Amino acid sequence: MLNTALLLVSIMIAIALLLSLWRLIQGPSIADRILALDTLYINSIALIIILGMYMGSPLYFEAALLIALLGFVSTAALCKYLLRGDIIE
Amino acid sequence: MTNWIEVLLSFFVLLGGLFMLIGSIGLARLPDFYMRLHAPTKATTLGVGSLLIASMIYFSVNNSIYSIHEVLITIFLFITAPVSAHMMAKAALHLDISALSITQGANAHQAAIQRSNTPDTLGVEADSSVDLGVDSSVAGSEAAGSASVNSKNQQEGGAV
């Protein structure tokens, strides 16, 4: 039962990743693309957690934590670049 | 693993996946950048939160120790999601990305004026701030400030 739910949820997260990728390619403005990248990394965190529960190994947690850290830093850097024209002043 | 724990885990996992899917559907389908900003920044934090609750229960039951290091990701995401949403909204305002004409403009401003029961002497300012959805809230607050100043002046004039 849990394995079925995990497979179903990984399919749902894959659809969510495809929708975010569509917005990343389609997006009319540059801020839409940054928002799509933000959603993509949060979706990939969820996919890695699902993979760790499916494999039964707690090793995948560190990968999810690293993606969370680097994703926030990259979003902040892109927004700072759009706001100021420079990242580190 | 007993049966009801498996039911609980499946419930949390399905809830999380549903929230993630709804957030990305909102990202893909909503018509405006500011609406699109609203959808994933709330739904994905809820989705990742319930998935991490499921992961915590799973590893606590399987390894029979308390597995609480998933709280790190939860706390980190719950701190950084509003910050990144605020930065993206600030960047969009800086780039002058225009909002839809439904979510801004004269109707919302007239409704706000009628709610606050102030005399309707601000119609010119309301009409001049229609074209940029970005400036309508700022103009509204300025209009409210000037309205209070006007009423103060009228009260003082009446007293004198």
H/E/C letters for each residue in chain B? CCHHHHHHHHHHHHHHHHHHHHHHHHHHHCCCHHHHHHHHHHHHHHHHHHHHHHHHHHHHHHHCCCCCCHHHHHHHHHHHHHHHHHHHHHHHHHCCCCCCCCCCCHHHHHHHHHHHCCCCCCHHHHHHCCCCHHHHHHHHHHHHHHHHHHHHHHHHHHHC
Q: Least CB-CB distance to A31: which of B10, B41, B97?
A: B97
Q: Does residue B108 sit at the A interface (CB-CB below 8 Å)?
A: no
pLDDT of residue B105: 60
Q: Does residue B149 sit at the A interface (CB-CB below 8 Å)?
A: no
Q: Is the pLDDT of residue B54 over 80?
A: yes
Q: Is the pLDDT of residue B153 over 60?
A: no
Q: Which residue has the higher pLDDT, B115 or B52?
A: B52
Q: Which residue has the higher pLDDT, B91 or B98?
A: B91
Q: Does residue A87 sit at the B interface (CB-CB below 8 Å)?
A: no
Residues B40-61: what's their mean pLDDT? 87
Q: Identify whether residues B147 and B110 lie together within a single domain.
A: yes
Does residue B65 belong to any structural domain of this protein?
A: yes
Q: How many domains does chain B have?
A: 2
Task: Note down the domain range covering B14.
Answer: 3-94
Does A68 contact B76 at a Cβ distance shorter than 8 Å? yes
Does residue B142 belong to any structural domain of this protein?
A: yes
pLDDT of residue B17: 92
Least confident residue range of A36-45, B3-12, B65-74, B143-152: B143-152
Q: Least CB-CB distance to B95: which of A36, A49, A82?
A: A82
Q: Identify whether residues B17 and B79 lie together within a single domain.
A: yes
Structural domains of chain A, ranges and CATH numbers in brackets: 2-84 (1.10.287)
Does residue B14 belong to any structural domain of this protein?
A: yes
Q: Which residue has the higher pLDDT, B153 or B21?
A: B21
pLDDT of residue B102: 67
Does residue B122 belong to any structural domain of this protein?
A: yes
A14-23: pLDDT as tens digits: 999 999 999 9
Contacts of A47 in chain B (CB under 8 A): none
pLDDT of residue B118: 54
The alpha carbon torsion through B9, B14, B15, B16 (nearest 10 deg) reads: 90
Q: Identify whether residues B33 and B57 lie together within a single domain.
A: yes
Distance from CA of B102 to the nearest CA of A (A): 19
pLDDT of residue B150: 46
Residue of B nearest to A2 (CA): B10
Q: Does residue A55 sit at the B interface (CB-CB below 8 Å)?
A: no
Q: Which residue has the higher pLDDT, B97 or A10?
A: A10
Does residue B8 belong to any structural domain of this protein?
A: yes
pTM: 0.72
Q: Identify whether residues B26 and B69 lie together within a single domain.
A: yes
3-state SS class at A68: helix
Q: Identify whether residues B83 and B113 lie together within a single domain.
A: no
Neighbours of B23 (CB within 10 A): 27
Q: CA-CA distances (angstroms) from residue B77 to A45, B43, B57, B71, B146? A: 10, 12, 19, 10, 40
Instruction: Give A50's pLDDT tier (boundaries 50, 70, 90).
Output: very high
pLDDT of residue A77: 92
Does residue B101 belong to any structural domain of this protein?
A: no
Q: Identify whether residues B82 and B134 lie together within a single domain.
A: no
